[in-house]
Amino acid sequence: MNQTVRVRFAPSPTGYLHVGGLRTALYNYLFARKHGGKFVLRIEDTDQSRKVEGAVENLIDTLTWIGLDYDEGPVKDGPFGPYFQSERLSLYRTHVQELLLNGEAYRCFCTAERLEEARRNQLAVKESGAYDRTCRDIPPAESDRRAGEGEQHVVRMKVPLEGEIEFEDVIRGTVIIPTNVLDDQVLIKSDGFPTYHLAVVVDDYRMGITHVIRGEEWLPSTPKHLLLYKYFGWRLPVFAHLPLLLNPDRSKLSKRQGDVAVEDFRRKGYLKEAMVNFAAFLGWNPGDEREVFTMEQLIREFSLERVGKSGAIFNIAKLNWYNQQHLKTKSADELVDLVRPLFEAAGFQAIDCSYLGKIVGLLKERVTTLPEFVSASGYFFHDPDTVDEKGKRKYLTDDVIGHLDTFASRLEAAPDFTPHSIENALRSLSEELHISAGRLIHPTRLAVTGTTAGPGLFELMEALGKETVVRRMKSVKQFV
């Protein structure tokens, strides 16, 4: 491979970045970075009826958040722009003229209504719903005249009636499709816009794309693209059709069956590192038993040859695990930065950074997503207003309440308030009382946090501070 690698992610701007799109974008990105190539973002906005306001901005925002920075694309012009297909209309027209001239494409004057009816009839007798080629043999002179008179038309490609098209796919090997099942695909719509099939071929060629890495849903239409390359006399890129991402019922991943937008997961507090790691492993693996990867490691190890062929179900339980793994690798400072906006949004203002650092340190092995830091942190900011009911029955007996009082007084009088000194105080008290340490530990936790589960008690108490701890222990009576 001595030619510079150029790949592209070419979404249509319909609103948000789908996790399937994320994986496609990621593989393109990894491939480009691995080979020192360029990663291009191209917006396929040739369907005006599907335009969604703000979709491109949103897409770029999500791509940026997750760390897939592109080399050329919207807001980042390069030598092959513009990167919006809607701004390249004249280019498609020029190229299609060439096809028209060579008789490899033709104008079709059929009305949408007629086509609709014809298709219905064919489907009714179980024929393929392909275009019946009524206009295929209109003489060029007549075609030019009717077009000149302003008659509405589309341009269709002329597909050979017989033969077959064979091509190599990096992931699937040799694929052979007979041409007689191919439709005379519309290339230019009556509104003058190109269809996907024309635009993708023209742009991939004009943008110097060397490897087309896209979803498997494009496999059946690849022969049409190949034909176009042939008609234009252009050199072929390498094709790699990625297996689809699936819903739990094995249908193509879609909205309706839970969250599919990357921004949904971002909002729910998943780390970008986890999203990337997880998406990468849906269809690819390094061939050994390592599972937790950073983007840099993925770039180093990724190869198309190790991409599988079969569809993969998007499994949130595993994403949760990846999130925990990546959470563990983050320092308290990093976590504080990630989590502070969440605390602020929840109404905790002016939080001391070092205090927040302690909190996330104590909690980070006990949560799976970012918002859980907030929901598990109430007692770090205010005294509990209730205590766990089961815990109360189990631990808050009258004698224990007396013990807590004693323990609190001792802590209050002690010079130090470290995990070690607290533990010593507790253990010597339990010895004096001839009770197990647990008989003091659990009630203390309940008094101090209102719950029966949480971080190690002594670290927790230190973080809370002596004053708070003593106050809560002494006022636990109110709950019984």
**Which residues within the stretch 441-460 sit at the binding site for RNA (CB under 7 A)?**
441-442, 445, 452-459
Q: State in angstroms the smallest separation of the CB of 453 from RNA.
A: 3
Determine if 465 is a binding residue for RNA (CB under 7 A). no
Count of positions on this chain that bind RNA (CB under 7 A) = 85
> How far apart, in whole angstroms, are the C-alpha atoms of residue 188 and residue 257?
35
Shortest distance, position 190 Cβ to RNA, whole Å: 3
Restricted to residues 306-325, the positions that interact with RNA (CB under 7 A) are 306, 308-313, 315, 317-318, 320-321, 324
Name every residue whose Cβ is closer than 8 Å to that of residue 340 and which is 6 or more positions away in sequence: 351, 353, 356
Given candidates 54, 67, 103, 129, which one binds RNA under the rule CB under 7 A? 129
**Binding segment (CB under 7 A) for RNA, from list 89-97, 213-221, 352-360, 378-386:** 213-221
First-to-last CA distance in the chain? 76
Catalytic residue selected from 255, 268, 328, 390: 255
11 binds RNA (CB under 7 A): yes
The yes or no reply on residue 249 touching RNA (CB under 7 A) is: yes
Considering only residues 346 to 385 of the shown chain, the ones binding RNA according to CB under 7 A are: 365-366
Residue 10 interacts with RNA (CB under 7 A)? yes
Which residues sit opposite 194 in a β-bridge? 188
Among 287, 341, 402, 465, binds RNA (CB under 7 A): 287
Closest CA to 74 of 91, 54, 47, 48: 54
For RNA, the closer of residues 1 and 176 by Cβ is 176
Burial track 285-315 (b if 16+ CB lie within 10 A, e otherwise)? bbeeeeeebebeebbebbebeebeeebbebe
CB 16 within 8 A of CB 261: yes
Q: Is 330 a catalytic residue?
A: no
Q: Which is nearer to RNA, 160 or 341 (CB)?
A: 160
Between CA 225 and CA 232, with CA 231 as vertex, the angle to 5 degrees is 90
Question: Contact 268/321 with Cβ under 8 angstroms?
Answer: no
Q: Of the ranges 260-268, 278-286, 329-337, 407-415, which one interacts with RNA (CB under 7 A)? A: 278-286
How many Cα atoms within 13 Å fall on the side-chain side of residue 334?
Answer: 9
Is the CA virtual torsion 423, 429, 431, 435 positive or negative?
negative
Dump strand ranges (E) for 19-59: 38-41
Q: Rule CB under 7 A: say whether 390 interacts with RNA.
A: no
Which residue of 27, 31, 39, 46 would you call a contact of RNA, by CB under 7 A? 46
Asked if 251 touches RNA (CB under 7 A), the answer is: yes
- Say which residue the tokens 């060397």 belong to: 210
Q: Rounded CA gap, 55 and 69, in Å?
A: 17
Span of 4-12, 29-37, 90-98, 353-361 interacting with RNA by CB under 7 A: 4-12
For residues 392 to 431, the per-residue mask of contacts with RNA, x marking binding by CB under 7 A and - elsewhere, is ----------------------------------------
Query: Could you tell me the smallest distance in angstroms from the CB atom of residue 19 to RNA?
Result: 13
115 touches RNA (CB under 7 A): yes
Q: Is 160 in the site for RNA (CB under 7 A)?
A: no
| Per CB under 7 A, 130 contacts RNA | yes
Of residues 179-208, those binding RNA (CB under 7 A): 181, 183, 186, 189-191, 193, 195-197
Given the complex with RNA, which of 187 and 356 has the nearer CB atom? 187
Tokens representing 198 are 């024309």
Q: Two tokens at 401?
A: 């309440």
Give the whole-angstrom CA distance, residue 87 versus residue 131.
29
What SS3 class is residue 155? strand
Q: How far apart are CA 300 and CA 279, in angstroms?
A: 16
User: In sequence order, which ranges of 136-260 are alpha helices (DSSP H)?
Assistant: 140-148, 196-206, 222-232
The residue from 265, 281, 293, 380 that contacts RNA (CB under 7 A) is 281
Alpha helices, H only, 364-434: 371-375, 378-381, 389-395, 398-413, 419-433
Binding segment for RNA (CB under 7 A), chosen from 61-69, 75-83, 287-295, 396-404, is 287-295
Minimal distance, residue 349 CB to RNA, in Å: 27
Q: Which residues are catalytic?
A: 255
